[in-house]
Structure 1
């Protein structure tokens, strides 16, 4: 089992690494070369850098992820692509994407995109809080156990 992180802009990288280190689980952060970092990470953390492009990291994750791996992402579309592979997918707010909730999430995303395309506005995400981080950590620990 590995934990993959959709790394472009994820606010829970450090929390994921902390939990994975304690559980002796490998973490793979897939991110754009634009986010290259010289920061030192624990030995259980590796990076896969991809070219610039809207979905380059997503395609690489779909290619690499396997059954029973865990993916950390806020991208519903990416989640819908890896669920059929037998991976578990968790959002940074601490809820799990499942086959049961995916259709509704994708439908909501579709209608929001239609509103924006026609000139309307939709709400953006709320600011990420410590309570959100705690809920994420609790859910990740649950998935690992």
Structure 2
């Protein structure tokens, strides 16, 4: 869901058609999240709204309604109200190698090992520019070894 038409258009042009990714325009992401059926989502990215208060509302609404197996990624996770909006029954990791920080939250043990390993792999290459997309893809896909 996207509440900024200009940003939504730019993202749509950038990603093009995608089988598993659908971008929908809404007037307000927090209002949408308060009533949406989130049971069909495996992964939710939260990076919405013009104010931190609205994004905090989105985080609270999504995490109150999300399916047990869903992973939620929160942009700008260095902001304390975003961290505080995550209920105690969620696991969390803050990817802090780059700024802005990205938080990943989930319930249960299923995702703990893979997300922890991903965080360690990213941190091991924090010297590498996040803009080196091809190098990051190779490095993360390889499972071992340095990125070139």
Q: What range is the shorter-chain TM-score in?
A: 0.3 to 0.5
- TM score, norm. by length of structure 2: 0.37
Which structure features the higher share of strand residues?
A: 1
User: Of the two, which has the highest radius of gyration?
Assistant: 2
Structure of greater relative contact order (alpha carbons < 8 Å, 6+ residues apart): 1
- TM score, norm. by length of structure 1: 0.37
Which structure features the higher share of helix residues?
A: 1
